[in-house]
Amino acid sequence: MVSNGSKWFQMVQRLFKMVQDCSRENLPGWSNVKLNVMSFLNDAIVSVVKIMPERLVWIFSKKYIAGRELSDALKVTAEFNAQGIKRTIDLLGEDLTRMENIDIYKKEYLNLIQATSKKALSNSFSVKPTMFGLLIDTSLCYRNVRDLVVAAASKGKFVRIDMEDSECTQKEIDLYKRLHFEFPDNVGIVLQSYMKRTLSDIADLSRLQPAGSVNIRICKGIYNEPPEIAYKKMEEINKNYLEALEMMFNSGIYAAIATHDKSLIEGAIRLIEKYKIGNERCEFQMLYGVTPELRKSIVEMGYNMRVYVPYGKDWFNYSTRRLKENPKMVSHIIKALFTNN
């Protein structure tokens, strides 16, 4: 299997290089051919990755994941802190959680909160509510996430509720509102600019009190949503992203600007300058292992930067699930194979 896998990869590598070389030559009608080939490659790779041995998948996943253990997350966090970059640590887990897993995830997060506090690391935590039973029982989920927020708040730390697919959107906003009422300084939420409802969600959240305590990470969104509720074209998603950010600045909301898209980063910086937003009101955020040069250039400009560090034993399911949810990830992985190995 391993040798078949590597042969297969060599073939894909050659094909991908061909696509890149031809596209550089800008041949007429080429863009359609390129799209079809890329889409074929995406589908093929998703199917193959799912049956590949874990050790092989780890070769390209490790660039984006701190490791399997809590100690791996601590090590990466300390390295970034030394560069003046903050972190948000995410424990990887199954989204359709079985009840018996909830306690395991909770114990791990509580250990993580203790350990990062003991080591005086500057970090926050990102949490996926489906890991704590959001789709099974919202009250149970609230109680579990609240326990994490209580522990984090007692150490002066912050918990961000990640945004998942549209089945979760309203439930996660409601969870945020409930927790924000009790812990306005220690909890935040994520909104996705591909969702058509996002501007009205910002308007709604901007009414929460005390003024200035709302904290939103704005990102494009990673899940495959239907066109009735989500923008599909990149121009529309980007336009909505910058409109959302502008609305957040105008409403006094703390903005965590999560993107690796250079044009969006430039647009965000224009807005920061236009509204004279200081570092106490915003930060940039990027995923671990993605566009490190761009990240460095933002830090050098003097802006706050936070890196999202996922870790955990469930890295394999996470990697393959992300591929299934967003086949665009496949092209990132192929690019990583060429540029780093």
- C-beta separation of 87 from 313 below 8 A: no
Q: Is 55 a catalytic site residue?
A: no
CA–CA gap between residue 308 and residue 126 (Å, rounded): 8
- Site pattern 80..119 for ligand FAD (x: CB under 6 A): ----------------------------------------
Cβ atoms < 10 Å from Cβ of 337 = 16
177, two tokens:
């509102």
CA–CA gap between residue 45 and residue 328 (Å, rounded): 11
CA 100 from centroid of its chain's CA atoms: 26
Which residue, chain included where needed, has tokens 């030394």?
A: 82
- C-beta separation of 90 from 108 below 8 A: no
CA angle 157, 160, 161 (to 5 degrees): 145
Using the rule CB under 6 A, which residue among 168, 202, 253, 258 binds ligand FAD? 258
- Site pattern 132..171 for ligand FAD (x: CB under 6 A): ------------------------------xx--------
Using CA atoms in the order 208, 129, 144, 124, what is the torsion angle rounded to 10 degrees? -70
Size of residue set near ligand FAD by CB under 6 A: 21
Asked if 269 touches ligand FAD (CB under 6 A), the answer is no
Q: Is 217 a catalytic site residue?
A: yes
Asked if 286 touches ligand FAD (CB under 6 A), the answer is yes
- Site pattern 312..341 for ligand FAD (x: CB under 6 A): -----------------x--x---------
Output 61 or 116, the one with its CB closest to ligand FAD: 61
- Which letter does DSSP use for residue 312 in this model? S
Which of the following is catalytic: 87, 160, 217, 322? Answer: 217
Q: Which of 223, 176, 170 is nearest to 200 (CA)?
A: 170
Q: What part of residues 207-226 is at the interface with ligand FAD (CB under 6 A)?
A: 219-223
Using the rule CB under 6 A, which residue among 23, 261, 281, 321 binds ligand FAD? 261
Q: Which residues bind ligand FAD (CB under 6 A)?
A: 162-163, 190, 192, 219-223, 258-261, 285-287, 290-291, 308, 329, 332
Cite the active site residues: 162, 217
